[in-house]
Structures are given as C-alpha cells and as structure tokens.
Structure 1
Amino acid sequence: MLLLVSGASGVGKTTARLHARHLLGETFETAELCTLGPIPAAPTVAWRQEQVEAAVQRAIVLEAEGRHLLFAGDPVPVGEALAAPSADRIDIAACLLDAHDEAHLARLARRGEPSQTIPLHQGFATWLRAHAHDPGHVPEAVTTGAWPEMRWDRWVGRQPGPEWAMTVLDTSSLGPEEVGEAVAGWCRRAVAGEAPVFPAGWFVR
C-alpha cells in the first residue's frame, strides 16, 4: 500500500515521517521527494508529479514483498497520487495533516518564512482542505503545468461522494512525537482496513 501524508508547509509532514518510521518497524519504508532522486535547481509541478510516480512504483515493489511505503514530507495532494500513471495498480490511503490558521502562521513564523510567501502557504492549505472532500474544487491547482503522463481523467469532474475519502488529522496542538504517533496509528489502521483507502482501480468501480 502507498500511504500518502499530505498537507501545506509547516503542518508537520516531515516531522511525521521522521518520528513514525521508528514506530512502524521494517514492514514500512518511508520516503519523500528528496529521497527519490536529486531535486532540480528550479523544481516544477511536472517534476514533482514524475517523482510521485516514482513513489507509486516503489510502493508496488514493496507490496510484492509484503511491505508498505509511507510517502510524507512534501505538499503532494491526494489527486496527484491518484493520477500517477501506475496508481491503478496499488491501494492508496491518504492522510491530510492540517492546522488552524493561528497555529499554521505561528509555525511558518518560527521557520522564518518570508512574509511574501505566507499567503501562498495559507491559500494552499485552504485548497487542500477542500480537496480532501471535493475532487471538483479547483483542480487547476494541480493540473496546470502538469506532467503529460498524468491520468487526471480518473477524478477530474467527479462530484463529492463516499468513494472520495481520506483521513484528516489536526496537528494544531500536537508536538513532534505526538504527530509521529498519530501518523503511525493511521498507517496501521489503513493497512488493517480501518481507515479510508482508495483501492487499486477504484475509479472504474
């Protein structure tokens, strides 16, 4: 299974990966974009989506070994994972890490985020919240400038429904270890069938 942890900058994705990997054991491998290959000087949307496909392919290899891939640390929306060319061959569970506006702003400030980029991070966080429930909400946010191999037809144009489901975790009041524990618990539930999962080929069912 591919277990995707999504979210805007500052909500705890990398923290979740670093802490959760020590809790999950060898059945789970972890990755983020920088572990899948070199990052170009000027990363593009298309490059990110090619790397998402690399993560999907790695998850397929691991599944054959009875293992899973936790893909966390980057702002990769679930729609990008589901549209990756090979995504029809693997179960995908998605978890959105979110934080309320006050907590999000405080974290961005602690990171020294330039003031001119903060509205962009806030806007993306707002879009991700909507995307978690509604595949029809401004798909152009990820389809513009996309890698040509992406299969947007799997979900673009769909209406909200029970088949479009992911887990949302509020990290506003959680410390680093608590975020890791929450994500590790979600991984175990997803693998056990106790959390929402997009089964392989879900879009043709």
Structure 2
Amino acid sequence: MLLLVSGASGVGKTTARLHARHLFERRQLDSTYETAELFTLGPIPAVPTIAWRQQQVETAVRRAIALEAEGRHLLFAGDPVPVGEALAAPSADRIDIAACLLDADEETHLARLARRAEPEELIPLHRGFAAWLRAHATDPGHVPEAVTTDSWEEMRWERWVGRTPGPEWAMTVLDTSRLTPEQAGAAVADWCRRAVAGEAPVFRAGWFK
C-alpha cells in the first residue's frame, strides 16, 4: 500500500514522518514500513516544477508496488503532494492508496511558518494552498487546475477530474495544531496501521472504474 501524508508547508509532515519512522524501528516494524519523501527518491532540481514533482510521485508509486510484492508498505510524507496527484500517477491503478491530510489552524500554521523564516510574500500562497488541500480532501471538483495546470503529460487526471463529492472520495484528516511532534508521529503511525487493516479510508486499486 502507498500511505500518503499530504499537507501544506509547515503543518508537520516531515517531522511526523521522522517520528513515525522512529516508532516503527522501536516496535520492530521497520521491515514492514519504508518511509520516503521527494528528496529521498532522487536529486531535486535547482528549480523544481509541478511536472517534476508528479514524476517523482510516480517513482513513489512504483516503489510502493515493488514493496507490496514483499508484503511491505511505503509511507510517503514530507512534501505538499495532494492525493489527486498520487491517484493520477500513471501506475496508481495498480496499488491501494490511503491518504492522510495534516492540517493546522491559522494561528498555529502562521507561527510555524514564522519559525521557519518563510518569506513574507509567500505566506499567502502557503495559506491558500492549505485551504485548497482542505477542500480537496472532500471535493475532487474543487479547483482541479491547482494541480493539473503545467502538469506532466503522463498524468491520468480523467480518473477523478469532473467527479463530485461522494463516498468513494475519502481520506483521513489529522489536525496537528495541538500535537507535539512525538504525538503527531504517533498519530501518523497509528493511521498507517488502521489504513493497512482497512479501518481508515483507502482508495483501492482501480477504484475509479
């Protein structure tokens, strides 16, 4: 299974992934779950593009497929990859995909961005993307151009673009506003367990047919 943790910059994706990985190691589950983010899948270009990101998502999907053959799973977290990009990756029809959106209230998000010394002119973009991800979690028809514009030509957007909200479009949303890094990591690790066990929403391979 591909376990995607999505979210805007500053909500805690990388931190949660690292703490979840430590939990996997302590519980001797590191042979079951492999973790990755974009920079672990290949070099990052000087000017990353949407198309490049989507090509790397396909790399993650293919890695998840290879791990599944061994009875293992890939936790892909740390980058602002929307679930729609993962589902539209060319090979995504061959693997179950579960998605968890990490979110935070405005005050917490702004404070985290400030601690990262994000340029002031980028703050509205980060906040706008957070709002779009929040809507995308429940409505595939909400401004799909946010990810389809300037996209990689191999993406299979027809799998979900044009759909309306429905029970087949579901993911887990986790509010990290009041969670410590350790608690966020534990919550992500528990979500992984629940998704694999069928206790959390999962897009099953070929769900769109």
TM range (shorter): over 0.9
Residue 151 of structure 1 is matched in structure 2 by: 156
Instruction: Please give the alpha-carbon distance, in whole angstroms, between the structure 2 residues aligned to 1:155 and 1:91.
Output: 15
Residue 71 of structure 2 is matched in structure 1 by: 66
Instruction: Please give the alpha-carbon distance, in whole angstroms, between the structure 1 residues aligned to 2:57 and 2:84.
Output: 11
Instruction: Please give the alpha-carbon distance, in whole angstroms, between the structure 2 residues aligned to 1:120 and 1:22.
Output: 32
Instruction: Please give the alpha-carbon distance, in whole angstroms, between the structure 2 residues aligned to 1:22 and 1:158.
Output: 38
Residue type of the partner of 2:6? S
Residue type of the partner of 1:3? L
Residue 50 of structure 1 is matched in structure 2 by: 55
- Structure 1 position 36, deviation (Å): 0.2
Instruction: Please give the alpha-carbon distance, in whole angstroms, between the structure 2 residues aligned to 1:80 and 1:199.
Output: 15
1:151-190 paired onto structure 2 within 5 Å: 151-190=156-195
- 1:10-44 CA distances to partner (integer Å, 9 max, x unpaired)? 00000011010122222000000000000000000
Instruction: Please give the alpha-carbon distance, in whole angstroms, between the structure 2 residues aligned to 1:27 and 1:189.
Output: 14
1:22 corresponds to 2:22: yes
Which among 104, 122, 138 is matched to residue 133 of structure 1? 138
Identical aligned residues as a percent:
83
- 1:114-159 CA distances to partner (integer Å, 9 max, x unpaired)? 1000000000000000000000000000000000000000000000
Q: How many residues align?
A: 204
Instruction: Please give the alpha-carbon distance, in whole angstroms, between the structure 2 residues aligned to 1:8 and 1:85.
Output: 24
1:93 corresponds to 2:133: no
Instruction: Please give the alpha-carbon distance, in whole angstroms, between the structure 2 residues aligned to 1:94 and 1:77.
Output: 9
Structure 1 runs, 4 residues or longer, greater than 4 Å off: none
Instruction: Please give the alpha-carbon distance, in whole angstroms, between the structure 2 residues aligned to 1:193 and 1:145.
Output: 35
Which secondary structure does the structure 1 equivalent of 2:173 belong to? Answer: strand
Unmatched tracts of structure 2, length 5 or more: none
TM-score (norm 2): 0.97
Residue 117 of structure 2 is matched in structure 1 by: 112
Instruction: Please give the alpha-carbon distance, in whole angstroms, between the structure 2 residues aligned to 1:182 and 1:11.
Output: 14
